Amino acid sequence: MNCFYHPNQPAVGMCKHCQRGLCAECAAVVEDVLACINRHEDEVRNLEQLTEHHLFQSKRFGSNYMRNATFYGLVGTAFAGFGLWQLKWLGLQAALFMALGFFLLYAAIVNYLEGRKYK
């Protein structure tokens, strides 16, 4: 690949903004990536900051799933346990508590598995 701006020069890399090949004379290093000198340096800097922000947010997003999984797991266990404990006296109402508890346990498992994606 050759430089976009100097077609007779070999490219040393590509601009992160426009994806054009750049020679050593046309390349500017911005936050460890290449950009077209005096053209795309600000755009590349903004892209790098945005990427860093999104990586930070994805870690926070995963912790929300884990918090939900813990809450649903505790409440689901309480409902299912109460339903099992009261099955003899409440009958169908106890079955409703158990069904709600098992649904919440299912939600806890789903949230836990989804939260693992963001680690």
Domain of residue 83, residue span: 58-118
Sign, Cα dihedral of 31, 35, 38, 44? negative
- Decide: pTM greater than 0.75: no
Task: Examine residue 7 and state whether it is found in any structural domain, yes or no.
Answer: no
CA distance 83 to 40: 63
Q: Which residue has the tokens 């892209």?
A: 47
Q: What is the pLDDT of residues 38-50, one digit of tens each?
A: 999 899 999 999 9
CA distance 82 to 12: 68
Number of structural domains, the chain? 1
Task: Examine residue 79 and state whether it is found in any structural domain, yes or no.
Answer: yes
Mean pLDDT of the chain: 90
Task: Examine residue 80 and state whether it is found in any structural domain, yes or no.
Answer: yes
Q: What is the pLDDT of residues 73-103, one digit of tens each?
A: 999 999 999 999 998 888 889 999 999 999 9
Task: Examine residue 111 and state whether it is found in any structural domain, yes or no.
Answer: yes
For residue 77, which amino acid is it? T
